[in-house]
Every structure is written in structure tokens, then in C-alpha cells.
Chains A and B, each alone.
Chain A
Amino acid sequence: MNTTFPFGFQLPLAFYLTIYVLTLVVHVVLMAYVLGGSLWLTWASLFPGKEKTPRTMQPVARLLRDWMPFALSGAITAGVAPLLFVQILYQQQFYTANLLLGWRWMVVIPVLIVVFYLLYVVKSRAIASWALPLRVLLACGVATCFLFVAFCWTANHLLSLDQSQWPTVFQSGNAVTSAITLALRLATWVCGTLPVMSLLGLWQLRGMRSRTAKWDAEEALVGTSPTEWDYRFSQENRRLMILSVAGTLSAFIFATLYYSQLDQKVRHSLTGSAGFVWLMVLVTSAVAVILLSLSRRKKSVQELSTLLGLTCAQLIQLVAAASLREVIRLTQADLTAVTQNAADAFQIGGFAVFLIFAVMNAGLITWCIVLVKQK
């Protein structure tokens, strides 16, 4: 742990850590869309606004309702990849935490099934005629499910780090050893999803604007003029930009508080040679996101360059956060065992098979998208 993560480790460990971090980032991007999105929809249902068109009928909410089921499929599918590699790297920790949580861990599955079908209810046309309290209840229900799942992952993760507490937790059945630590870590994640969701929303708004014909026609039925439509887009853009700034700032605050809860030893590796570079990258990219968001918040459509800039900054920020997250874990783990696990796994064949089919399937996935775009 005396060089920037993951370079201070032997090749096999560095290799699996890199794959783990990258796949986790993909999971987080999609997870952020559903978690952040469900919070947005809750806000929009609770505070419909005073305009003629309630917030739940405005572009972002519509996009969210339309795309959240697919994004959830994506988040789940993308979750399987880090799930695989976490078992290679930290098998004993991960499994023990799972076992200590027991049925409280297993319940994640039915909750996800329920919320998946709830998302289709949210999407269906029928709910427009539901009474307001019912719609609010539905939105809150969906958000609660996602928050619960995030809570389980964080609780599991914290438990996996805290090896000395395992027997006590087993005895008492109380899986949360420090409620404050858990709350701060979870709050960091939840706030951190907001800028990511906001970014995906901005991309979607842009796409929607470029094929407005259909939407305008639909809107025309409820009597929206083109100027009004334009105004609404700039409103939504501004909201997303504000969300991005607010999310980044609050995540930063919670992360700092979480940091203050950490062991001396862990803090040292975060600010020391393993984590320092990532810490700087994290802060810089967060500042970049905030500045970009503030400066372009008044546009009705974001320019491509702004979106690309935001995307880069956001992705770098996630990679940095995920890397620092590993530095925390590795500082508390039995490094010899982790290194040995990775070295053993490295001996197992099949990487070439994976690469070949990964490239092939990436191509086929692209082909699917091209086919659909040609419609």
C-alpha cells in the first residue's frame, strides 16, 4: 500500500482490483439512475408545482418513468459483474457478511422483484387517473424499496470490513455495529447518485429535444405552445444542473463526515501514498462538475461539449471514489490472504474465452442498437 492504488500490488491482485473497480462503476451509473430517479419522482409527486403541467408530467419525470424499468434491468445485470469479482477478491469477508445478515440479506431479491413490477405500474397510463395520495404513495414506495436495497448493500459492506465484530454480531443478531457510520456512508452514496442521475437526464433531454416532433404532437393535445415547450426544457435543464451541484456538495459533506469516523490507520492510507492521488482526482473532478453545472445552468439544451465534459468529470469522479473505497477496504483486510486469493485465481484459465466473447457480444449489442436506431 505504498504506491497509488492499485499499482502497489502484485500483478494478479492489481488486475482483479482494476476489473472490480471498473465493473462496479458501471453498476453504480445505472443504479444511480434508478435510485436518483425514484427520488426525483417522489419529489415531483410531492411538490407538483404551480404550473399548468404538474412536474410529474414534465420531460424529466416522463423520461424517468419510461426508462427506469430498463435501467433497473441494466443495474441488476451490471451488478452481477462486480458480484463475481468481489467473490474472487474478498470471498471470506463477503460471504460471512451475507451469512451474518441471513434472511435480511435474502430479502433484497423479493424487494427488487416487487419494485421492478411497481416501475411498470408507475409507467402505465392508468395511474394518471389515480388520486393524488395514491400516486404519492406509489412514488414513495418505489423510492423506499431502492433506498432499502442500497441500505442492505452498505450494511453488508460495512459488516464485511469489521472482522473483529463478527462473533458479537452473530451472537446478538444486531448487524449494524455503528449506526452513525452506516448512515453517513449511505448518505454519501445516495447524494452521490444525484449528479449521476442528473447527467443521464441531461443526455436524455438532449435526445428528446432532437426528436421533439412526436412529443410536441402529444403535448399539442394539452395545448402547449412551442415557446412554452422551450421554456419547460430550460426549466428542466436548470433543475438538473442544480441537482448536480447540490448532490455533489452534499455527498462531499457526508463523505468528509464519514472520513472523520474512520480509523486513524485507514485515514492515513487515504491521505497517504495509496490514496492521495485519487483523493486529489476526486476533489478536482467534483469541482469541475460543480463549475460546469453552474456555468451552463441557464441553457435550454446542453451543448455536446458540455455534456462530454460533465460525463468525463463524472466518470473520473466515480472511478476515484470506487478506488478510495477499495483503499479503505484493503487497509482493513488481511493483505496476504487477499494477494494469495488473487494469485490463485490468476492461474485459472478462461480469460481468453472471456475476451473473445466479450468483444463479440459488445459488437452484437452495438448491432442491436444500430438496428433500432434505423427505425
Chain B
Amino acid sequence: MNPVYPVNDYGPLMPGLVMAAVAIVHVFLAQFAVGGGILLCYFQWLAMTGRNTTARLFVNGYFKILVLISFVLGAMTGVGIWFTSIQVSAPTIGQMVFNFHWIWATEWTFFSLEVVAGYCFYRYHNQLTDRTNLTLLGLYAFAAWMSLFWINGILSWQLTPGSWLETHSLTDGFFNPGFWPSLFFRTIVCMTLAALIGCIVVNVIPSLDRSEKQELINRAAHLMTPMLAMPLLGGWYLLSMPEDSRSWVLGGSPAMMLFFMISVGASLAIGSYALIGLWFQKLYINGATATLLLFMAFGATAGGEFVREGSRKPYTIRHVVYSNGIRPQDVAELRRRGCVADDPFPVTFESKLPSANIELGAKVFRRQCAVCHTMEGANAIVHLTGTWDTDQMRMNIAKLQQTKPFMPPFAGTAKELECLIQYIRWVKSKRQQNSDEDISQETLERITHWLDEAGTEPADVHGVSTSAMAAREGSSR
């Protein structure tokens, strides 16, 4: 059983949104830092082999600084994501750390190499030979990409744990069905971002004339050629997704579909611009265009991350932890014991709760619903249940996973459910209605009946093999 953690009330800005914002900025920066390493290597090689002498200016002067900025910000927002994940769902990050701590430690050794190699180049490149500089940049790029490699295994595991659910083997978890498509996909994104930012940088180097700029831009755009493979990889990635998640992305959930389309559309626009330009005539991307394309790339990253976060619902780790931090195998037990029985934290987000039952209901809301809903703000329970009468509320919440398949099953006692409904009604009445309604035995029995009908399994259970379910029930973690 996961411990009960205190839940902060961040007001209308749900922690999920904060998480998404930090994650998008981080992913964008970190991917640029990885791509930047590759681009620096390429340009260093062009310069030292005499293929393009102005490339040196780019490597030593401007781009290097950008990579450093993104690299520092990338590292800091990386720790930031870690901290934010704890705020959003401590049990989720806890599971990730627990199951993959040696992978994380391995990633950290690469990260250390990245810091040292990057800093050595940054600080000493003027005093070093071309070969040494290339070696340092090569080590930097290698280490940066490897840190992507390791973290990618953990992140893709969240959505597609695959046969890990049965075997609990590290290899199965790490090389999960989503691993390779998302690794290739992300690598291409890294290179694209670096190429676009490279184009912006070339445009602002004052000492270059137009033909020199064009030459460099063409070279940088080479890093966008792998975008040709994107449709294929995207398809592969979609295929590796669980059926239900895929169906939401492809239309089942309008919001998710929208983000997905933004992502695809923006990538298509960037890709076609670069490839057609490269193919038919010598490409020249001026600063404004490059910036516009970069914004689109940011949009694509944002859309992609939203889809990645959103399509996991009702889980944060598929079949391992629900979004509200409750583990699937604990639901049955929580229905007997109650989900707030050992919640020591008082209700602070409401004042003047009129009765003990309503207070209990507020606690149930906080424990099970608050991670995705507010009472009256975004995705507000009060509005969503606006047209329902009390019995409809009882039934639809008892059968939560059937009401909407991206919600987890209700994980509390019948009494807790009734208290939750009293709480919702109290808020609906503009916090006026003061009566403490007794809960009749008959009501409890009806709720229990609905709870039993819905069962404790999530909606997608048909998608899991029975042995996986058995393994899950058996595992203590």
C-alpha cells in the first residue's frame, strides 16, 4: 500500500499543468543540448578538414554559448521535473526511481561525462588542437545522447511496460515496446531543433556575407534530413501504444487528438520546408523564418508531451500506478478499509465544513479526484455533475471507470462515496446547505451494489493478459 501523501492545493492551476509546462521547457532544452552536441561535432569536422572554414566561427563563437545555456538550463529543469513530479504524484516518481535506480545511476555517470567534456571544450578550446577539440565534442555529444538513451527507457516504460508486467525483469522494462520508436523519434527531434537554432545563429553572425551564410545554413539543414523517417517512426510509435491510448489520440479524446494534430502538423511543415528547400534549390532560411520554424518545433514538442502525458490516463504508469497515486492491486483493499482511513492531513482547502461527513467527503475528493479535477475551476466536478440527480451521481461515481474509461475505479468504501457526494452537493449549494444528512443503510447498500457491479478492475482490463494480472496481484510493490 502506498503511503498517503499531503496534497497541496495549487488553486486553479492544477499541478498537472505545472508539470506539463516544466516538462515541455525541459524536453525542449535538453533535446536541443543533445542535438547541439551533434551539430558542433559536424561543424568542427567541417572546419578542420577544410570543407568549410567559416564553420569554425560558428563552433567557437556563438553556438557554443547557446549549448552551454541550454545545457545548464536543461540540467536545472531536469532536477526541476524531478521536484515537480514529486509534487504531482510522489508514488509515481517513487515507482520509477525504485524500479530503475541503477539505470538512473548509469544515466548520471553519462551526465557527469557530459559536464566534464562540455566544460573542457568550453574553457580550453582556444588552446587545444583541432583533433582534441573534436574528441571532446565527440565525447560530449556521445554522453548527451546516451543520457537520452537511458532516460528514454524509463519514460517509455510508463506508457508501454509490455512484458515487464509479467516478468518484472529490468531488461523487459527498459527495452519495452515503445523504447526504440521513441528513441529514434526523439533523436531526430534533437537534430532538427539544433539545425533550426543553428540557422538562427548563422543569421546573426555579423561578419559573414550572404553566400557564407547560405553555405552554413545548408550544412546545418543536413541535420534535418532524418526527418524523412518521421512518419514511419511516428506510425511505429502509435502501433506500440496500448490500444485504448491509441484510440484516444486518434479521435477518442478531442483534446488529445488536437494536440496530436498540432504536433504532426508542425512537424510536417518544418520537414517539408527544409526538405523541399534542400532538394530543389539551395536552401536559405533567414532569421525570421528560422525563428518561426523554431516556434513551430516548440509547438510540436509541447503537443507531443501533452499527448505522452495525457494518453496514459487513468495511469501514470500503465497497470502500476493510477494518476491519483493509488495502485491497481490496492483498490479492493481500499474499498474495504477506506481510502482516507489513514490520511492524517486535515482539510485545508475548505473552511467551515458543516459536518464530519462532508469533511470526510472533501478528503476523499482530495485523495482520489483532485489530481485531475477541481471542484469549481478547471475540469470541475460541480459542472460535470451539474445535470445529475443524487442517485445518478452515486451510480456514475461508483462506476467511475465505466463513466469515462480514462478514470480509475473508485477506491473507497460506500460510505466514503456517499460522503463525497454530500460534499459535492454542499459545494453545489454555494456552501450554504448546512444539514448533516444521515446516511441510510439502504443508500449504502445501493452504492455497494453499484461498486460491485463495476468491479475493481480498470476499464481497459481486456487489454491485459490474465497472467499479467496475476503477476500484478502477486507482486508486493
Contacts and interface: CB of A to CB of B under 8 A. Distances in A.
B108 A87 contact: no
B6 A166 contact: yes
Interface in B98-153: 98-106, 108-113, 115-117, 119-120, 123-124, 127-128, 132, 135-136, 139, 143
Contacts of A84: 97, 101, 104-105, 108
Interface residues of B, number: 60
A201 B1 CA distance: 50
A87 B116 CA distance: 26
A354 B101 CA distance: 10
A367 B124 CA distance: 15
B101 A80 contact: no
Contacts of B132: 371, 374-375
Contacts of A106: 80, 83-84, 87
Interface in A316-375: 344-345, 348-351, 353-354, 357-358, 360-362, 364-365, 367-369, 371-372, 374-375
B97 A349 contact: no
B21 to A, nearest CB: 12
Contact of B120 (A87, A91, A360, A369): A369
Interface stretch (A95-103, A180-188, A268-276, A283-291): A95-103
B358 to A, nearest CB: 18
B97 A88 contact: yes
Contact of B6 (A170, A345, A371, A375): A170
Nearest to B90: A95
Nearest to A86: B97
Top 10 closest pairs, chain A to chain B, by CB: A350-B102, A349-B170, A95-B90, A361-B109, A109-B80, A354-B102, A375-B127, A167-B344, A361-B113, A92-B3
Contacts, number: 172
Contacts of B143: 361, 364
A112 interface: yes
Contact of B98 (A112, A345, A354): A345
Contacts of A176: none
A116 interface: yes
Nearest to B78: A80
A96 B124 contact: no
B245 interface: no
Given A170-B346, A348-B99, A368-B117, A99 B5 contact: yes
Q: Do most interface residues of chain A lie in helix, strand or loop, or is the interface mixed?
A: helix
B8 A102 contact: yes
B110 A348 contact: no
A334 to B, nearest CB: 11
B476 A344 contact: yes
Interface in A68-104: 70, 73-74, 76-77, 79-81, 83-85, 87-88, 91-92, 95-96, 98-100, 102-103
B348 interface: yes
Nearest to B103: A350
Given A105-B83, A349-B102, A80 B111 contact: yes
A88 B77 CA distance: 22
A368 B476 contact: no
Contact of A96 (B5, B119, B346): B5
Interface of B: 3, 5-8, 10, 72-73, 75-77, 79-80, 82-84, 86-87, 90, 93-94, 97-106, 108-113, 115-117, 119-120, 123-124, 127-128, 132, 135-136, 139, 143, 169-171, 344-346, 348, 476-477
Given A368-B117, A371-B128, 14 more contacts: A70-B119, A80-B111, A81-B105, A88-B101, A98-B86, A99-B5, A108-B83, A116-B76, A166-B6, A173-B348, A344-B98, A350-B100, A357-B106, A361-B110
Interface in A159-197: 166-167, 170-171, 173
Contact of B72 (A73, A344, A353, A375): A73
Contact of A369 (B98, B116, B128): B116
A330 B200 CA distance: 54
A38 B151 CA distance: 34
A88 B6 contact: no
B274 to A, nearest CB: 32
Contact of A171 (B98, B120, B346): B346
Contacts of A364: 113, 117, 139, 143
B130 to A, nearest CB: 12
Contacts of A358: 105-106, 109
